[in-house]
């Protein structure tokens, strides 16, 4: 199954194709795989990992937290189609 991680940033809409074994770091430093230049995003904010066709997300002790379907993540969680309503907007698309 193909999964796209779609998000909005100051530079416009972006999409990342996720595949098994892929690990992506999201944050506001240029070294992150998903660069999110927003003051509300921590330098290393969250990590996304694909395994067996499933995508998981873990907050990396960010200042403002990572949210999944409106709830702040307290532990690593599996993503389903839906959203991470945290600026900038992150959404999952099958």
pLDDT of residue 37: 81
CATH of the domain at 27: 2.60.200.20
Contact between residue 59 and residue 66 where contact means Cβ atoms under 8 Å apart? yes
| Residue 87 resides in a domain | no
pLDDT tens-digit series, residues 62-85: 998 888 777 888 999 887 765 554
| Residue 89 resides in a domain | no
d(CA 72, CA 52): 25
What predicted TM-score, i.e. pTM, was given to this entire model?
0.74
pLDDT of residue 59: 93
Residues 6+ apart with CB under 8 A from 74: none
The count of structural domains within the chain is: 1
pLDDT of residue 72: 86
| Residue 31 resides in a domain | yes
Name the token pair of 80: 């389903």
| Residue 91 resides in a domain | no
| Residue 84 resides in a domain | no
| Residue 94 resides in a domain | no
d(CA 83, CA 50): 17
d(CA 52, CA 43): 28
């Amino acid at each position: 199954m193909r999964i796209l991680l779609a998000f909005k940033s100051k530079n416009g809409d972006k999409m990342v194709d996720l595949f098994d074994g892929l690990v992506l770091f999201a944050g506001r430093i240029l070294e992150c795989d998903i660069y999110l230049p927003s003051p509300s995003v921590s330098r290393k904010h969250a990590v996304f990992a694909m395994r067996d066709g499933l995508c998981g997300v873990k907050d990396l002790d960010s200042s403002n937290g990572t949210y999944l379907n409106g709830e702040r993540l307290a532990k690593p969680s599996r993503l389903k189609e839906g959203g991470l309503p945290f600026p900038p907007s992150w959404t999952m698309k099958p």
